[in-house]
Structure 1
């Protein structure tokens, strides 16, 4: 389950693994629907023909335009989103953002729990 690729993008970092990718956005960034375009490019390159889970490791404080989730939801092989907020404010923001995403979306206390859930989501999706 080692990392396949690392991207240092303008607004953060992407860590690509076999069944999921972890995104860490830079402090103070405003994530907009354009972010989904970068995400989509990485997904097309590394996950062509296979499902994945997006894990947001929120170690920095930033804002998200809720319309970003409308765009992200259109990525066909993205089966779920996992959020790992660093504090209570980030957790409340993640809970609010959940309202804009209709696929599975869960909030976790740590990265290990999110990764474990990601494996279950991929396995469940393959079985269905």
Structure 2
């Protein structure tokens, strides 16, 4: 892990190829709070691809309009939701409709991390083979 950021919206765990976010209990993720993600992408992932993993250990809400702005982050190559309850997983299926990036849901954080690494590896392989 590179760094942990505790911010008003939640805790951000920054790794080389992926970002894990745990939003605070009762938080509402808005388009304005999405600016934090943009800043983190610019600061920690400048010039490299990454995957966003939201670890939904707390109950919070997301304004679906967030995803149109999130989709504009060019180096974001995947989005994963980790949740263990039915409502959060059902919400993720609806949220998936608003994001124009690969989007998967998981019940275990380790599986989301494995998926994130595979997306990064696949993209790096595609870049290398397309150079020939």
TM-score computed with the length of structure 2 as normaliser: 0.93
3-state SS of paired residue (1:23): strand
CA distance in 1 between counterparts of 2:67 and 2:39 reads 16
1:1-128 equivalences in 2 (<5 Å): 3-128=1-126
Name structure 2 gaps, 5 residues minimum.
Answer: 127-132
What is the CA deviation profile of residues 44-96 of structure 1, one whole-angstrom value per residue up to 9, with x for unaligned ones? 11111100000000001111000000000100100000110131111111111
Q: Which moved more, 1:13-22 or 1:40-49?
A: 40-49
CA distance in 1 between counterparts of 2:33 and 2:117 reads 24
Name structure 1 gaps, 5 residues minimum.
Answer: none
Q: Hey, which bits of structure 1, 4+ residues long, moved more than 4 A?
A: none
Aligned CA RMSD, in angstroms, stands at 0.7
Shift of 1:20: 0.2
Size of the alignment, in residue pairs?
126
TM-score computed with the length of structure 1 as normaliser: 0.96
CA distance in 2 between counterparts of 1:94 and 1:60 reads 14
Determine the structure 1 residue equivalent to 2:129. none
CA distance in 2 between counterparts of 1:21 and 1:77 reads 12
